[in-house]
A and B are shown apart, each in its own frame.
Chain A
């Protein structure tokens, strides 16, 4: 016999153990209270786990200041422009004022966001400093610009004055082509200057160009003046084999490029034009030296073969190209300085028009080059663009977060949105005081709004429809939950029956 303990024998109950352990008809776990406690503990754990489950599976979606974003969209930015007309004659100033108002009402789109204010004074510099544009009638040699002063010859008609003023203050018409050409705002550009020999093997190759000096002469003055708007990095290269993707059309003594071919001139498949070392936009400037067998290479303005006087063209938002047919190349293969100067003069023009520097109106001279009027007009344009761009971006963030339910919104996104809103508010505050500050704020706002939009954490979860949720969770949870629900229900009903019986017993003892 392996065991002789008394507990193995059910017939003889031992005094130190509870009776339920020995009675097979009523084991201890069949106790009502114990059973209910077990079921209740299951339910307690499930109910306690629900918040945890909810918390761990929900996506973090912080509230965005959508009200302020919407409010912002309703107020458009107004940049004040004060123009002081020097001269004591009030009726004359009134005439200009009337003409100007007429101009504005004719093309409100062009004047959008700009609030010109005209006033007369006997000495503009003294009364309002040099931030105010002033119009004077002291010129002896046609209309000219000096800083923010505009000098007309005496007795200029008011209509002429208004014409010149409006093309200086808002040189950007709402037509499509200029919008097309100007690159989108970026705080940093890379300028890639390339000297491409079509085919060095054909001889007469240009190996070198005096780019440092010409950059200093033509490009640096512009980059210096535009330094408040953008930063620039310059890179350059020389290539010796840059074939065209199409054969130029042979003419009598030259080779021509038709307008259709001109659009596909850039052979991006075979020319390596810029390094991809950063994400900043690149502006390309290409000096193309045709193969010695195909000189001179000229641009045709139509399919009949009319030769264009120009050898330079511009690809909108991309860059500029100059085709140069060298006449004399030194034995060292260096392009003559005079030729390089001509080319860089063209590059400078292309550069300015790509960045949106408006040309001066006909008949107006600016001895100092890029004038303050042009720079201010560009700054105003960029400020308005950036303000609009950042407002649109903020609005679209809010809209997308509303629309796409499983898109997370983290603290960094919310902070960026808040900061962008603050920058926009600062811009509004700065606008009446200083244009440069307003621009700086608008650029900050655009940067922050874009960063919020492109936040890598904002990637929405993949589409997971409700049907899939049921399909995944039902086999998992239904089998566990249904017995629990049924057990709870049965216990509840048993409890009710007990209470009823107890009440009956009490009523009739």
Chain B
């Protein structure tokens, strides 16, 4: 008797929930369409003046040798293509090269031919071992650092920086494990990128991830000017590429291997576009479906060069020395600048009064609820219903 109305209520709640999420999807699609077309009028050239790279290997232990090799391979490539070490943040457990099981101490190789040595002679690991944590990674991205953190551990990018973020490790649906200890979710990465966007810490950002179900990791991104690529779809594993019988473990993952192989054909002045890189992805070779997300990126992919993200500077200006005709000591100091006088910090009363008045709102609480809050309300309502049902059953005796 009592069950029937409750069942109806549940039915109504669930159908309404479905409608509200579906309409949100359409709204997003429409917004995406308009944003894309509003910005397509702009030029196609990149407007950055400096490049940064954040390379993260989130695994540790000897059997994850290949993840170390992935990150080091990327490190070698971005360095070769012109990003200075000061602009590369490398996060690496770094327990492969000097592992007692490593038959080639001090070296990390990404192929059985053992050429080249990725560990090389000039490598700067910025976050090592147990420093590779979710917190540190997010601090690097958002710039929320303790003042004592040295320059080499900071991402000091600005609104003219193109940032390349590469991650590799073991992951799953919308998460990536950090050293078998904690995990970062796709939401955390999306929020971190949004904070970077709000503080103008990048001009354009390339997010590349090689892990199982990698494409889920970029599904939650929502900040503009981000291009994302992943190695495998939801439900798919990302496979290693090749074993080295002397080292005894897999030495590189397939996705990274083919990206790096493509990069070997690129030099600092190449004009090859990102589109060509993405076209080179071959699902049959990778044994997984690589994904690309470009709806947030405002430039056509065939105009975006690989060196926009992997390389150094894009342009220089030749200065004619004729204009450099300032004679020495001509610029003598003159006293026509006003002296700096500091006044006490007095906030005018008017500003304070306005501060008080702006708390008055005319909207009803219902209208203020956005999608996220609705979800919470819904969850609590359903919990209350279940609780009521349980207690009703319990008290019948």
Chain B contacts of A456 at CB under 8 A? 139, 144-146
Chain B contacts of A348 at CB under 8 A? 324, 326
Contact of B82 with A264 in the complex, beta carbons under 8 Å? yes
Distance in Å from the Cβ of B49 to the closest Cβ of chain A?
4
Tell yes or no: B347 within 8 A of A by CB. yes
- Which residue of A147, A221, A465 is within 8 Å of B333 (Cβ)? A221
Chain B contacts of A65 at CB under 8 A? 355
Distance in Å from the Cβ of B53 to the closest Cβ of chain A?
12
Contact of A346 with B82 in the complex, beta carbons under 8 Å? no
Q: Quick one: which of A464-482 are within 8 Å of B by CB?
A: 465-466, 470, 482
In the complex, residue of chain B having the shortest beta-carbon distance to the beta carbon of A436: B338
Chain A contacts of B334 at CB under 8 A? 147, 368, 372
Tell yes or no: B265 within 8 A of A by CB. no
Contact of A264 with B312 in the complex, beta carbons under 8 Å? yes
Contact of A310 with B318 in the complex, beta carbons under 8 Å? yes
Contact of B320 with A263 in the complex, beta carbons under 8 Å? no
> What are the interface flags for A284-306 relative to B under an 8 Å C-beta threshold, 1 for contact and 0 otherwise?
00000000000000010100000
Contact of A263 with B313 in the complex, beta carbons under 8 Å? yes
Contact of A463 with B185 in the complex, beta carbons under 8 Å? yes
Tell yes or no: A82 within 8 A of B by CB. no
Distance in Å from the Cβ of A462 to the closest Cβ of chain B?
6
In the complex, residue of chain A having the shortest beta-carbon distance to the beta carbon of B315: A263
In the complex, residue of chain B having the shortest beta-carbon distance to the beta carbon of A274: B86
Tell yes or no: A180 within 8 A of B by CB. yes
Tell yes or no: A375 within 8 A of B by CB. yes
Tell yes or no: B391 within 8 A of A by CB. yes
Q: Which of B49, B184, B185 has the most CB of A within 10 A?
A: B49
Chain A contacts of B15 at CB under 8 A? none
Contact of A314 with B345 in the complex, beta carbons under 8 Å? no
A346–B320 Cα distance when bound, in Å, is 9
- Which residue of A181, A311, A455 is within 8 Å of B317 (Cβ)? A181
Distance in Å from the Cβ of B396 to the closest Cβ of chain A?
10
Contact of B316 with A315 in the complex, beta carbons under 8 Å? yes
In the complex, residue of chain A having the shortest beta-carbon distance to the beta carbon of B142: A459
Given the known A-B contacts A345-B324, A369-B326, A400-B198, are A316 and B49 also in contact in the complex, defined by CB atoms under 8 Å? yes
A111–B139 Cα distance when bound, in Å, is 39
> What are the interface flags for A343-377 relative to B under an 8 Å C-beta threshold, 1 for contact and 0 otherwise?
00110111001000001000000011110100100
Given the known A-B contacts A181-B317, A485-B394, are A372 and B50 also in contact in the complex, defined by CB atoms under 8 Å? no
Of the candidate stretches A31-39, A100-108, A265-273, the one touching chain B is A265-273
Contact of B323 with A369 in the complex, beta carbons under 8 Å? no
Contact of B391 with A318 in the complex, beta carbons under 8 Å? no
Chain B contacts of A393 at CB under 8 A? 199
Given the known A-B contacts A68-B354, A368-B330, A423-B345, are A435 and B318 also in contact in the complex, defined by CB atoms under 8 Å? no
Q: Which of B138, B152, B351 has the most CB of A within 10 A?
A: B351
In the complex, residue of chain A having the shortest beta-carbon distance to the beta carbon of B134: A462
Contact of B351 with A314 in the complex, beta carbons under 8 Å? no
Interface size band for A:
35 or more
> What are the interface flags for A312-346 relative to B under an 8 Å C-beta threshold, 1 for contact and 0 otherwise?
11111110100000000000000000000110011
Of the candidate stretches A20-28, A41-49, A230-238, A486-494, the one touching chain B is A486-494
In the complex, residue of chain A having the shortest beta-carbon distance to the beta carbon of B392: A489
Distance in Å from the Cβ of B130 to the closest Cβ of chain A?
18
Tell yes or no: B31 within 8 A of A by CB. no
Contact of A312 with B395 in the complex, beta carbons under 8 Å? no
Tell yes or no: B379 within 8 A of A by CB. yes
Distance in Å from the Cβ of A13 to the closest Cβ of chain B?
35
Contact of B348 with A425 in the complex, beta carbons under 8 Å? yes
Tell yes or no: A308 within 8 A of B by CB. yes
Distance in Å from the Cβ of A506 to the closest Cβ of chain B?
27
Chain B contacts of A499 at CB under 8 A? none
In the complex, residue of chain A having the shortest beta-carbon distance to the beta carbon of B190: A463
In the complex, residue of chain A having the shortest beta-carbon distance to the beta carbon of B345: A422
- Which residue of A299, A369, A425 is within 8 Å of B332 (Cβ)? A369
Tell yes or no: A403 within 8 A of B by CB. yes
Given the known A-B contacts A147-B336, A279-B151, A422-B345, are A68 and B351 also in contact in the complex, defined by CB atoms under 8 Å? yes
Contact of B391 with A485 in the complex, beta carbons under 8 Å? yes
Tell yes or no: A92 within 8 A of B by CB. no
- Which residue of B49, B85, B328 is within 8 Å of A269 (Cβ)? B85
Tell yes or no: B341 within 8 A of A by CB. yes
A466–B381 Cα distance when bound, in Å, is 13
> What are the interface flags for B233-245 relative to A under an 8 Å C-beta threshold, 1 for contact and 0 otherwise?
0000000000000
Distance in Å from the Cβ of A403 to the closest Cβ of chain B?
7
Tell yes or no: A201 within 8 A of B by CB. no
Chain B contacts of A315 at CB under 8 A? 49, 313, 316
A261–B270 Cα distance when bound, in Å, is 11
Tell yes or no: B100 within 8 A of A by CB. no
Chain A contacts of B355 at CB under 8 A? 65, 67-68
Contact of A349 with B326 in the complex, beta carbons under 8 Å? yes
Contact of B337 with A228 in the complex, beta carbons under 8 Å? yes
In the complex, residue of chain A having the shortest beta-carbon distance to the beta carbon of B156: A279
Contact of A463 with B142 in the complex, beta carbons under 8 Å? no
> What are the interface flags for B49-89 relative to A under an 8 Å C-beta threshold, 1 for contact and 0 otherwise?
11000000000000000000000000000011011111000
Contact of B347 with A425 in the complex, beta carbons under 8 Å? yes
Contact of A313 with B268 in the complex, beta carbons under 8 Å? no
A463–B188 Cα distance when bound, in Å, is 6
Tell yes or no: B295 within 8 A of A by CB. no
In the complex, residue of chain A having the shortest beta-carbon distance to the beta carbon of B342: A440
Chain B contacts of A316 at CB under 8 A? 49, 313, 315-317
Q: Which of A181, A228, A392, A456 has the most CB of B within 10 A?
A: A456
Tell yes or no: A454 within 8 A of B by CB. yes
Distance in Å from the Cβ of B233 to the closest Cβ of chain A?
21
Distance in Å from the Cβ of A28 to the closest Cβ of chain B?
26
Tell yes or no: B325 within 8 A of A by CB. yes
- Which residue of B313, B316, B324, B336 is within 8 Å of A372 (Cβ)? B336
Given the known A-B contacts A184-B158, A261-B269, A453-B199, are A131 and B347 also in contact in the complex, defined by CB atoms under 8 Å? no
A90–B95 Cα distance when bound, in Å, is 82
Contact of B328 with A263 in the complex, beta carbons under 8 Å? no
Given the known A-B contacts A221-B332, A221-B333, A266-B312, are A350 and B340 also in contact in the complex, defined by CB atoms under 8 Å? no
Chain A contacts of B333 at CB under 8 A? 221, 224-225
Contact of A466 with B379 in the complex, beta carbons under 8 Å? yes
A469–B317 Cα distance when bound, in Å, is 57
Tell yes or no: A239 within 8 A of B by CB. no
- Which residue of B50, B150, B191 is within 8 Å of A317 (Cβ)? B50
- Which residue of A268, A311, A454 is within 8 Å of B145 (Cβ)? A454
Tell yes or no: B115 within 8 A of A by CB. no
A131–B338 Cα distance when bound, in Å, is 9
Contact of A369 with B268 in the complex, beta carbons under 8 Å? no
Tell yes or no: A130 within 8 A of B by CB. yes
Tell yes or no: A260 within 8 A of B by CB. yes
Tell yes or no: B375 within 8 A of A by CB. yes
Chain A contacts of B317 at CB under 8 A? 177, 181, 313-314, 316
Contact of A309 with B320 in the complex, beta carbons under 8 Å? yes
For the A-B complex with A176-B47, A181-B317 known, give 16 more contacts whose Cβ atoms are closer than 8 Å. Answer: A147-B336, A180-B315, A217-B328, A221-B332, A301-B318, A316-B49, A345-B324, A349-B319, A349-B326, A368-B330, A368-B331, A372-B334, A400-B194, A405-B372, A425-B348, A489-B395
28 A-B pairs within 8 Å (CB atoms) are namely A68-B351, A131-B338, A147-B334, A262-B318, A263-B315, A265-B316, A269-B79, A276-B86, A279-B154, A281-B156, A316-B313, A316-B315, A318-B49, A320-B319, A345-B324, A370-B331, A400-B194, A404-B191, A419-B345, A421-B351, A434-B341, A454-B144, A457-B144, A459-B144, A463-B185, A466-B376, A486-B395, A489-B391
Q: Top 4 closest A-B pairs, CB basis?
A: A67-B358, A369-B331, A268-B84, A217-B328
